[in-house]
Amino acid sequence: MSLLERLNNDMKQAMKNKEKDKLTTIRMVKASLQNEAIKLGTKELSPEDELTILSREVKQRKESLHEFDKAGRQDLVDKLRAELAIVELYLPKQLSEEELSEIVKETISEVGAKSKADMGKVMAAIMPKVKGKADGSLVNKFVQQHLS
């Protein structure tokens, strides 16, 4: 089942169950997918494109969450946490810290990185491998740890 089909089914279910917040979030994600398809000039997005968009949605919400938290807007923080939980349902299973650490080690040896100066090479090689399965800041943290 494609992501769009899953979103449509979940949207119908949210309507039946009168889950207003879930419905709103699914509609936002669906609109992002449709806007990207229009921008790319295609009818259907590739799974990789869908993953990129979902990752972007998660990242935007996490950044907003941080800003609202700093501003003391607990009402918006709670709303964003709920949205984030819904959007994350559509992402692939996230890698554990052990799995991510292992991938980082393998990639460092693949590219022959020796110091933090090689960080860009390592990040460029690793991000396609973990796309949608790990947060970029967490990947960055692990790469820094292993290169120091």
3-state SS assignment for residue 133: coil
Over residues 24-38, the pLDDT tens digits come to 999 999 999 999 999
Tokens matching residue 85 = 């939980």
Over residues 76-99, the pLDDT tens digits come to 999 999 999 999 899 888 888 888
The total of other beta-carbon atoms located within 10 Å of residue 5's CB is: 9
CB 125 within 8 A of CB 111: yes
Q: Quick one: CA torsion of 134, 51, 30, 87, rounded to 10 degrees?
A: -10
